[in-house]
Structure 1
Amino acid sequence: MAKILFVMTGADHWTLADGTPHPTGFWAEEAVVPFQAFTAAGHEVVVATPGGVVPPVDAGSLGPEQNGGPEGAERMAAAVDSFEALRRPLKLSEVEVADYAAVYYPGGHGPMEDLAVDEDSGRLLTSALDSGRPLGVVCHAPAALLAAKRSDGTSPFAGYRLTGFTNAEEAQAGLAEKAPWLLQDRLVELGVDFRAGEPWASHVVIDRNLVTGQNPASSAAAAAELLKALG
C-alpha cells in the first residue's frame, strides 16, 4: 500500500475582478472519485492544505444538476462525509514529497484564490515534478502551477504538455467576464503547451510524470492514469 498526498484548497471563495467574493472551495467529484479509486486499490490518502485548514467543499458541486439527479447528489454528499482525511489535513508547509508515492491536486475555484500564490505548494510541485513521482492536477488546480518557480524565476512546467479548465468552459459557466484572470491564459503565459479538449468532456494529457485533467469529468480518467503509473 502506498501513501498518496492530496493537496487541496483552504479557500472558501474566489475574489472576482470587482472584489466580490464568489463562494467556492474544492469540487466534490474531483476529490471523491480519485479518493475512491485510490483507496479501492489499497492505497492511503493523506490531505494537506495551506495552514492545515479543513478544505471547504463547493456547495455547487453537491447539487443534483452536477450529480445526475437527487440520488447522485445524496451519494456525493455521503462520499464527502466519509472522506475522513478531509477533517484532519496536514499543514502544507510541513509536508515532504519524499513521504508519498504520488501527489494529486483536485480543483474547484478555490485553488485560484490560494494555491495559485502559495509558495509552499509551489515548492512541493517543483519537488514532485523533479522526483519523477506521479503528479496529477485536475480542472482549476493547475492554477497552483503559477506558484512553482525555479531559483532563476522560470517555471518548471514550461514546455510541458498539459490541460486544465479552459476559457471556453469558464465562459459557459458564466464566470469568464467576472474573473480577474483566466486559467488557460495564465498557463499559456508560463510557456506550457496547453491542450484543450471539448468543453465538459473527459480529457487527460500525460507528459512524463505529469497527468492533467481538464474538468470534473476528467477526474476518473486522471485517477486511472495515476494508478497505472504507480503500477
Structure 2
Amino acid sequence: MSNILFVVSGSDHWTLKDGTKHPTGYWAEELVVPFRTFTDSGHEVSIATPGGVQPTVDAGSLAAEVNGGQERADELEAEIGRIAQLAQPLRLEDVDLDAYDAVFYPGGHGPMEDLSSDEASAHLLTSTLASGKPLGIVCHAPAALLATEDTEGGSPFAGYRLTSFTNTEEEQAGLADGAPWLLQDRLVALGADFQEGEAWAPHLVTDRNLYTGQNPASSGPLAQEMLAALR
C-alpha cells in the first residue's frame, strides 16, 4: 500500500483587500472525502501543515446548506474528529518526499493566505512534479502553485493544463469583490493552461502527474483518479 501526504493550510483566516480577516481554514469535504477514499483502500495518510500547527476547519464548510442537509454536515464533523493526524500534524518544513508515494492538497480559502507564499510547500510541489509521483490539488489549494514562481516570473507549472476554484464560483460565493486577488487570474498569469468547467459541478483536469479539481464536488472524484494512478 502507498503512503500519501496531505498538505493542509495552517491559516484560520484570509486577509481581504480592506484588511479584514475572513474566518476560514480547510474545507471539510475536500479533506474528509479524499482521506476516507485513500484510507478505505488501505493506504496510509499523513498530514503536514506549515510549522506543524493544528489546522482549522472552515466553519462554513460544516453548514447544512453546503452539505445537502444537517445529517451529512454532522457526519463530516464526526469524521474530522476521528482523524488523529489533524491533532498533531507534521511540520511541512521537515517533510521528506522520499517517504511518500503521492501528495494531496485540500482546499478552502486557507491556502490563499499561507500556502500561496510558503517556500517549503513550493519546494515540495516542485519536487513532486519532477518526481512523477501523483500530485493532487483541489479548489483553492492551487494557490500554493503561486509560491513556485521564481524571480523572473517563471514556474515549473507554466504550460500545465489545470483547474481551480473559478472567478465565477468566487463571485457566486460572494467573496470576489472583497478578494485581494482571484485565483483563476493568478494561475493564468503564472502561465497555466486554465481549464474552466461548469460552476459547482465536478471537474477534473489531469496533465502528466498533476491532478487538479475545480471545487468541493471535485475532491472525491479527484481522489479516485489518484487511486487509479497508484495501482
- Give the shorter-chain TM-score range: over 0.9
TM-score (normalizing by structure 2): 0.98
Across the aligned residues of Structure 1 and Structure 2, the Cα RMSD in angstroms comes to: 1.0
TM-score (normalizing by structure 1): 0.98
Aligned to 1:58: 58
Aligned to 2:170: 170
Aligned to 1:124: 124
Using the TM superposition, give the Cα deviation of residue 84 of structure 1 relative to its aligned residue in structure 2, in angstroms: 1.1
The alignment partner of 1:48 has SS state of strand
* Alignment check: 8 A CA contact 1:202 1:213 kept: yes
> Hey, what's the Cα distance between the residues in 2 that align with 1:126 and 1:218?
23
Using the TM superposition, give the Cα deviation of residue 97 of structure 1 relative to its aligned residue in structure 2, in angstroms: 1.1
Using the TM superposition, give the Cα deviation of residue 154 of structure 1 relative to its aligned residue in structure 2, in angstroms: 1.7
> Hey, what's the Cα distance between the residues in 1 that align with 2:169 and 2:183?
11
Using the TM superposition, give the Cα deviation of residue 149 of structure 1 relative to its aligned residue in structure 2, in angstroms: 3.8
- Counterpart mapping for 1:82-161 below 5 A: 82-149=82-149, 154-161=154-161
Aligned to 1:208: 208
> Hey, what's the Cα distance between the residues in 2 that align with 1:184 and 1:153?
17
Q: Mark the runs of 5 or more structure 1 residues left unpaired by the alignment.
A: none
Using the TM superposition, give the Cα deviation of residue 23 of structure 1 relative to its aligned residue in structure 2, in angstroms: 0.2
* Alignment check: 8 A CA contact 2:137 2:212 kept: yes
The alignment partner of 1:179 has SS state of coil
Percentage of pairs with the same residue: 65
The alignment partner of 1:206 has SS state of strand
1:77 counterpart letter in structure 2: E
* Equivalent residue pairs, number: 231
* Alignment check: 8 A CA contact 2:149 2:190 kept: no
Inter-CA distance 132–150: structure 2 relative to 1 (3 Å threshold): farther
The alignment partner of 2:86 has SS state of helix
| Runs of 4+ residues over 3 Å off in structure 1 | 149-153
Using the TM superposition, give the Cα deviation of residue 152 of structure 1 relative to its aligned residue in structure 2, in angstroms: 6.2
Aligned to 2:74: 74
The alignment partner of 1:78 has SS state of helix
> Hey, what's the Cα distance between the residues in 2 that align with 1:17 and 1:121?
24
* Alignment check: 8 A CA contact 1:123 1:149 kept: no
* Alignment check: 8 A CA contact 2:37 2:223 kept: yes
Q: Mark the runs of 5 or more structure 2 residues left unpaired by the alignment.
A: none
1:116 counterpart letter in structure 2: S
Deviating more after overlay: 199-208 vs 68-77: 68-77
* Alignment check: 8 A CA contact 1:150 1:156 kept: no
Deviating more after overlay: 29-38 vs 75-84: 75-84
The alignment partner of 2:143 has SS state of helix
Aligned to 1:40: 40
Aligned to 1:198: 198
